[in-house]
Amino acid sequence: MNINEIYLDQPEGLSTIQTCPECSGSHIISDYACGTLVCATCGLVISDNYVLDDQPEWRAFSKEERNKKSRIGDPLSPLKIDYGLGTTIDKRNQDGYGNLLSPRRAHRINRLRWLHDRNHRSVTRNLSKALAELKRLASQLGLPMSVRSEAAIIYRKALRKRLIRGRSIDGMVAASLYLVSRSHGLPRTLREIAAASRLDKKEIARCYRVICNELNLKLPPTDATSMVPRLANDLGLSTAVQRRAIQILKDAERLKLCIGKNPMSLAAATLYIAAIEFGERRTQQEVAETAQTTEVTLRNRYKEIKRELNL
DNA sequence: AAGACGAAAGTGGTTGA
DNA sequence: TCAACAACTTTCGTCTT
């Protein structure tokens, strides 16, 4: 299971981490600047959920130090509608001392509040729906906070460029997540995303193309090796099998056996081969089903690889 | 009996004219 | 816009373990 998945939705669990799950080192440090928990020995990011800065910040001996004091409120988050910086005008018609405003001033403030609200209403309404869907989808897909935040940034850019107009919010959210999950090396297939959202593959693919074109983004084709760890996980295969599968994939890549092939099928085929080599055999049906493909495709891929690599 | 195999026909997406 | 095309899927009968 992905470490991020374990801790993502239960930040209180963070305080109980004593050793690194990767190298078993005990030197775990908090990087408050990016809000992550990191192993100082091997560099594994144990959680990129927000780690609250609990260090003292009340001492300031010089003007410089005073100016450096930066901790006011939560860290900024693109997942919050206003990045966590509220700028709304208080509903109570009181001044800073709690005294009621004069009728004349109260009227002015009401007017300002109304204007402010009206200006932000359309963007706010869109974002509140979009960000809620983004969080829901990402959590269903098991995507970590780093991917969620960046997807939110992509969506905001699309919104600013008025790309959402006339398209579905959910589709653009799904497309943002698809894009960022790929660019972060944690690809989810269109099929998986479509299954988790209420839209079909075609619709999401269309939104994805729009975002890529309009924001001038170009991603390389998905690398089959990035599919291996998750698939192996779902099949309960050891890391040795994973490493072997990736090795086979590299060789297949070299012989140009991967061009134009579905990366998920390739990952499935090489894992199938590697699992047999290591005595962790899984049936074709099991592997194909987990990879969301068919036995026939799995067979075609694995026969081809086996033949060309003389395995 | 379960799993693997492969033929045949059909589907959906890409490409290039 | 359309046809050609490769990859993929579905279905099903047969073979192997």
A231 and A181 assigned to the same domain: no
Alpha helices, H only, chain A: 3-8, 63-68, 103-141, 145-160, 169-183, 190-196, 201-214, 228-235, 239-254, 263-277, 284-290, 295-308
- How many structural domains is chain A composed of? 2
Domain interval for residue A234: 224-308
Question: Could you give the strand order of the β-sheet that contains A45-47, starting from the edge strand earlier in sequence?
Answer: A28-31, A36-39, A45-47
Q: How confident is the model at residue A275 (pLDDT cuts 50, 70, 90)?
A: very high
Structure confidence at residue A7 (pLDDT): 37
This prediction has a pTM of 0.73
Residues A152, A136: Cα–Cα separation, whole Å: 13
If one compares A98 and A276, the residue with the highest pLDDT of the two is: A276
Structural domain includes residue A110: no
B strand bases under 7 Å from protein CB: 2-8, 12-14
Choice between A310 and A299, residue whose per-residue pLDDT is larger: A299
A282 touches strand C (CB under 7 A): no
**Nucleic acid strand B within 7 Å of A201 CB:** yes
pLDDT of residue A238: 93
Query: For strand B, is any atom closer than 7 Å to the CB of A285?
Result: yes
Question: Which amino acid type is present at position A299?
Answer: R
User: A32-62: per-residue pLDDT in tens?
Assistant: 555 667 666 666 667 665 555 555 555 666 6
CA–CA gap between residue A305 and residue A293 (Å, rounded): 17
Query: pLDDT tens digits, residue range A185-232?
Result: 899 999 889 889 888 888 888 889 888 888 888 888 888 999 999 999
Q: Are residues A190 and A210 in the same domain?
A: yes
The torsion of the CA quartet A124, A125, A128, A132, rounded to 10 degrees, works out to -160
Q: Residue A40's pLDDT is what?
A: 66
Report if residue A65 sits inside a domain. Answer: no
Residues A26 and A42 sit within 8 Å (Cβ to Cβ): no
